[in-house]
Structure 1
Amino acid sequence: MSIDIPAPARLAAPTGAAAAVSGAAYEEAIELTRRLKLPHIRRAMAEVIPTAKAQRWDPAETVKVLLAEEAAGRATANLRTRRARAAFPTGKTFHIWNEQASSIPAPTQSALRTLEWVARRENLCVVGPSGTGKSHFTEALGQAAVDAGMTVAWFTIEDLGGLVRRHRVDDSVAKAFARLTRTDLVIVDDIGLLPVSADAAEGFYRLVDAAYERRSLAVSSNLHPSGFDEIMPKTLATATVDRLLHHAHVVVTNGDSHRLTEATGGHGVVPLS
């Protein structure tokens, strides 16, 4: 539910507002906001209180404005924290995505952008040659999920190998992947370019197994998952793909590399003067 209220940044505070906001009651209120961890209310009080006095707001209106400032401030801070924890590699979003240039059918793009598949704990596999927008599309979906209030984590498959090695020391690998799958959406990027190390293969299997029917995974790969036995042990690949594809949308990209097209068209760099 949206609340239509005047934000302090738009309030017309009376002249001498700073002087008007003082006194024992105000200082006690400031101290209470510290004790109750209400930093956004504390910052807004210097503008809201004199404005409320000057415009003779109902006390309930003043309280509503201050609480709305705290809610908005917390939402912004939480969004910033979720985005930082996702560890996206480039910051690419749908704002710079060219829907028409993608080989993914427009209805499929629209359906995936609703993120309903994440709510249903389904998976997504985006498969195709290098440069056809796989990483951009999956990252943009992750960014949209963060904007929608979800938690997201971004990995390469070798990052998963590093996670296995770090936690093997104290035999906490299973716990590490259980914690990881508390995340709403886990993205694994760029599978298939190189053979996968034994630790990475183990990590990928553990992630898929832990997330199976519990959380959503999005995978981008140069190889179709049916060919993962080319880059990891066949037995492990079979078990991984079986779980990955059971509840998955498989999207195939094709065409020439967007990067190569830009480069050959002279749009890959700013021309030298």
Structure 2
Amino acid sequence: MNAPAHDNGRLALMLNELRLPTIGRLWPEFVERSDKEGWPATRLLGALLEHELAERAKRRIERHRTESHLDPTKTLATFDFGMVPMVSKAHVTALATGESWLEKGATILLFGPPGGGKSHLGSALGHALIDAGYRVLFTRTAELVQKLQAARQSLQLPSALAKLDRFDLIILDDLSYARKDQAETSVLFELIAERYERKSLLITANQPFSGWNDVFPDPGMTIAAIDRLVHHSTIFELNVESYRRRKASDKQSARRRQLPNDNCEGGTTTMAS
């Protein structure tokens, strides 16, 4: 029995119905090449499917990067490891694959003063993990806490926490700025408890654990939260001078070097006798 013939318009409609846009774009070129070079049908089909899958993976990564809210400039390529000698580049590179810790819901904790590179390093790991096929969410801790408290008030907190499960990693930036004088900070503990040993967190904080009593409503909750976070954790302490302050100082020094000598005019100096 002869295979049914299809005109180009009909093929385009079927590929669109099947949601195969890459094959729809490439098949005329590949068919022409296949006819010229005598490809077997399996090679033609395989080549088209490989391109479709590659484009689909690329689009998926682009979607995941958009939903992550990560700063596009804060990547491993732009992170200056020379500024934070206490952080091992090899260790960070190993963590960037995700394989050794995301599967067991482990935690990464980044401590250090403001401007030390914590947010940049966390974002950089987030970008690398998206490239590796994982889903990541970057959020200011206070912003997520407010959203979860709003969900609690509308009796939707379990649903809101469940929706966050689609992210393999949540990056909670600036945890120290969430304060216990806001009644809603208790939902932060519920998020930590909900993801414990199931889904991973990466937390940046200006204060060490000893200062976390300013975050949670009571000491018992503070201890319980810390206990869960450190159980399966990697801790980095970025105790360095503010990167932003150093950059500003370097720029100011460069400007000073470029200023002409106040005692010079036109490149010459006239000495009074």
- CA shift, 1:45, in A, is 1.6
Distance 2:111 2:149 in 1: 28
Distance 2:236 2:62 in 1: 30
TM-score of the superposed pair, with normalisation by structure 1: 0.83
Q: Secondary structure at the match of 1:57?
A: coil
Q: Tell me: CA distance 1:196–1:230, structure 2 relative to 1, closer, same or farther (3 Å).
A: closer
1:182 aligns with 2:130: no
**Counterpart in 2 of 1:145?**
129
The one of 236, 241, 251 aligned to 1:251: 236
AA in 2 matched with 1:75: A
1:104 aligns with 2:86: yes
TM-score of the superposed pair, with normalisation by structure 2: 0.83
- CA shift, 1:238, in A, is 2.5
1:95 aligns with 2:77: yes
Is the deviation greater in 110-119 or in 252-261?
110-119
1:232-269 superposed Cα distances (whole Å, 9 cap, x missing partner):
32233222222122211121111211111110111799
Q: Any stretches of 5+ residues in structure 2 without a counterpart?
A: 259-273
- CA shift, 1:30, in A, is 1.5
Contact 2:149 2:187 survives alignment (8 Å): no
The one of 15, 34, 38 aligned to 2:16: 34
AA in 2 matched with 1:68: E
Q: Secondary structure at the match of 1:192?
A: helix
**Counterpart in 1 of 2:48?**
66
Is the deviation greater in 256-265 or in 236-245?
236-245
Q: Any stretches of 5+ residues in structure 1 without a counterpart?
A: 1-22
1:97-150 superposed Cα distances (whole Å, 9 cap, x missing partner):
122222333243344334222233210100011111100101000111100000
Percent of paired sites with the same residue: 26
Distance 2:44 2:252 in 1: 54
Runs of 4+ in 1 over 6 A off after TM superposition: 267-272
**Counterpart in 1 of 2:30?**
48
Contact 2:141 2:177 survives alignment (8 Å): no
Question: Highest CA radius of gyration, 1 or 2?
Answer: 2
**Counterpart in 2 of 1:172?**
156
Q: Tell me: CA distance 1:268–1:124, structure 2 relative to 1, closer, same or farther (3 Å).
A: farther
- CA shift, 1:166, in A, is 3.2
Root mean square deviation, CA, Å: 2.6
Aligned length: 251
